[in-house]
Amino acid sequence: MRKILLISTALLCGFVLSACDAGQYETEKTGKMVEVSEAKIDSLIGLMTLDEKIGMIHASSSFTSGGVPRLGIPELVYSDGPHGVRHEHGRGWHALDGYDDRSTYLPVGINLASTWNRDLGYQFGEVLGKEAKDRSKDVLLGPGINIIRSPLNGRNFEYLSEDPFLTGKMAVGYVRGLQAQGVASCPKHYAANNQETDRHNIDVIISKRALHEIYFPAFRDVVVDGDAWSVMGAYNKINGQYTTHHEYLNNEVLKGKWGFDGVVVSDWASVKDTREALIYGTDIEMGTELLRDFDNPVYEEFYLANPAKEMIESGEIDEKYVDDKVRRILRLMYRSTALSDHGPGQRNVEEHQQVALEVAREGIVLLKNDGLLPLDKNEIQTIAVIGHNATRKYAERGGSSQVPALYEITPLEGIRNLVGDDVEIIYAEGYEPYYDESLFADITGDAASQSRENVREVELAQSANQELMEQAIEVAAQADAVIFVGGWIKGHEGMPWGQGTYDAEARDKLNLKLIFGQEELIQRINAVNENTAVVLMGGSNVEMENWLSDTPAYLHAWYPGMEGGTAIAEILFGKVNPSGRLPMTFANAHTDYPSHSIGEFPGDGTVDYAEDIFVGYRYFDTHDRDIFFPFGFGLSYTTFEFSDMSLFVHDDIVRVQATVKNTGDREGAEVVQVYVHHKNPSVERPIRELKGFEKVHLEAGESTMVEIELDDMAFSYFHPDQLEWVMEPGEYQVQVGTSSRDIKLMADLER
């Protein structure tokens, strides 16, 4: 239907936009933009009425924005989310029941970041591009690249890291892989959307230095290096102005300094003012019905609909602002396959499931192992698998990032599949999740008031859990080894699409305490069985001080996707050598984090980022604070040795070389991390900052020379007064390590 419309319209209007023309703009495999014909876009805009232009700059349904049928310009079609193509919604907000809707459920963003493997980033995006295209989507609403500022943010699982360099480099691969399929990426949420509490209105008070050094770099990377064709605004304000139509963020930085010529798509209902949206860079307004009449949206009443038309017709705002928005939208259409009817995609194919497995294998982090792992199934008769999360499925929860997974291998299934009949597996749930209102922050960030009926529900749940615990301890005591699978849950039954509880969109946690009585359960399991491995799910860490020391082994799995159970079992039994590295610092309590101890979280109306640039290891390492596991940390079943570090300076490039050797008896992968330390800065700087990394896979005994290039930006900081990037002449030290606190080699140099 669409192709016929396109050709007949082209004939009718006698202009050049036709399937074959649009098809000339095949998207090259590199994801690089191809030369787009501005002349063609000019001719199209010249044919449009004001109404037709206005129709393109706001939603025409829950997940489409307007086209111009008369000119053969289709609607743009969007889909969540960052780790899988979401439930099909058609033109409303209710998932289409019975729709052939299954998709590949990849591990979540923080799993991907934990791989520190750029190639997997590309493959991740490629899978999403093929699956989105198969569903005729033009824009995939991801990746989520907000910085993990506090471990309490309900959406940390969707994001990548506390570090802007790791976030940006992993996101660039994702964006390129996605767009190489002709589907636009939409990195989100620009910018400083680092909490869910009061997200629609919170005003982030933040310095320009912190914006440029921490919260902007990943967005700059995806725009400048990734060629992102769209970017999503955020709900929050920054220093008093809504980010979706923020003069500094959009006009001065994104479209000015960084030269972004793509589309700024609002978050759903993040547009709050017509005039600002017209002149401060919002190109498409989506989702405003979410804050109005959800079921009977009137798109003509959107901010960028009739109200915008009136401002243009009255002469208050120049029509050139609308023309620029339409130009950007048409550019995206040409660059993508929006005009060539998408072409064939692929969905639910084995290759995609294999990528999900690879990302899970490389993105699960082994944090402690006193020798218990890997388990040898030939040495064990009985294993107790304990914990609700051993059988829980996560795909369809967590908010807008939900995915209708074709299947999801749970840890229990993965373990059973791997050991087969060699080992007897006994399962005990150990605890049942329940919805405890007092576990969540309310809109002011204080503990939500707990209703009387919820108090009663929680009491009943806790007494039921006592019984489950006793059963679990009995099973643990009789087994040769125990695998406990617990941690957080993503979303929760009884809440709309799993929103609003635990790890989920729209709510933050109140603390990092293990929920549902798991801490006592782990302690008691350790007391009856010294061969216990703990596997935790979750978008961040949990408090560990009361159970970690007595636990022989601990694996953090985040939410590892549809093949997560397979990967967990393969690592526990040594079929796969873990190579995940933490993309965030694991301290103990949330109050240890600078966003709580120096800054505010979640604030009240305003939230003060007083910690400024000292986020994550930039704070913990600079102030030598106690933590459990540092940024970049992760264990392996083999060992590595570093040697022969050299620096070669050529003008503005410093080439760092180092040799890595696998000194163990099995293959494995190491992540070589390069940090820069400024010895004598004239402004306060973190003790070190990640400025390069490379993951190397080595056979036992194999060694390789790794070379990483540092440009001037690697030594620069954003001057708090000059408000520009400066590379200060002085003494620097380049550090090569395997975490922010395990520096193996270092070399000084003058810059």
Residues that bind ligand GLC (CB under 6 A): 80, 141, 188, 267-268, 400
* Alpha-carbon distances, residue 350 vs 79, 103, 283, 347, 353 (angstroms): 22, 12, 38, 9, 5
Please, which residue, 401 or 465, has the CB nearer to ligand GLC?
A: 401
Bridge pairing between strands 668-678 and 606-608: unpaired
User: In the bound complex, what is the minimum distance in angstroms from residue 236's beta carbon to ligand GLC?
Assistant: 11
User: In the bound complex, what is the minimum distance in angstroms from residue 266's beta carbon to ligand GLC?
Assistant: 9
The pair of structure tokens assigned to 672 is: 């070589």
Please, which residue, 159 or 614, has the CB nearer to ligand GLC?
A: 159
Please, which residue, 559 or 633, has the CB nearer to ligand GLC?
A: 559
Contact between 736 and 672 (Cβ < 8 Å): yes
| Residue among 138, 203, 227, 267 flagged as catalytic | 267
CA distance linking residue 213 with residue 342, whole number of Å: 38
CA distance linking residue 253 with residue 260, whole number of Å: 9
Please, which residue, 498 or 737, has the CB nearer to ligand GLC?
A: 498
Helix axes 350-363, 118-134, angle to 10 degrees: 150
User: In the bound complex, what is the minimum distance in angstroms from residue 189's beta carbon to ligand GLC?
Assistant: 6
Bridge pairing between strands 640-650 and 606-608: unpaired
* Alpha-carbon distances, residue 522 vs 65, 486, 530, 542 (angstroms): 50, 9, 11, 13
Residue 281: DSSP 8-state: T
Contact between 741 and 717 (Cβ < 8 Å): no
670 alpha-carbon distance from chain centroid: 23
Instruction: Look up tokens 């998709």; give the residue.
Output: 103
User: In the bound complex, what is the minimum distance in angstroms from residue 636's beta carbon to ligand GLC?
Assistant: 35
User: In the bound complex, what is the minimum distance in angstroms from residue 265's beta carbon to ligand GLC?
Assistant: 9
CA distance linking residue 213 with residue 165, whole number of Å: 10
User: In the bound complex, what is the minimum distance in angstroms from residue 142's beta carbon to ligand GLC?
Assistant: 8
295 is catalytic: no
Residues in contact with 340: Cβ distance below 8 Å, sequence separation at least 6, in sequence order: 19, 22, 23, 25, 182
Please, which residue, 268 or 620, has the CB nearer to ligand GLC?
A: 268
Which of 250, 227, 226, 229 is CA-nearest to residue 238? 250
Please, which residue, 141 or 656, has the CB nearer to ligand GLC?
A: 141
Residue 37: DSSP 8-state: -
Secondary structure (H, E, C), 504-540: CCCCCECCCCCCCCHHHHHHHHHHHCCCEEEEEECCC
Please, which residue, 244 or 337, has the CB nearer to ligand GLC?
A: 244
User: In the bound complex, what is the minimum distance in angstroms from residue 289's beta carbon to ligand GLC?
Assistant: 12
Which of 709, 578, 736 is CA-nearest to residue 642? 736
Bridge pairing between strands 59-61 and 606-608: unpaired
Please, which residue, 288 or 541, has the CB nearer to ligand GLC?
A: 288
Catalytic residues: 267
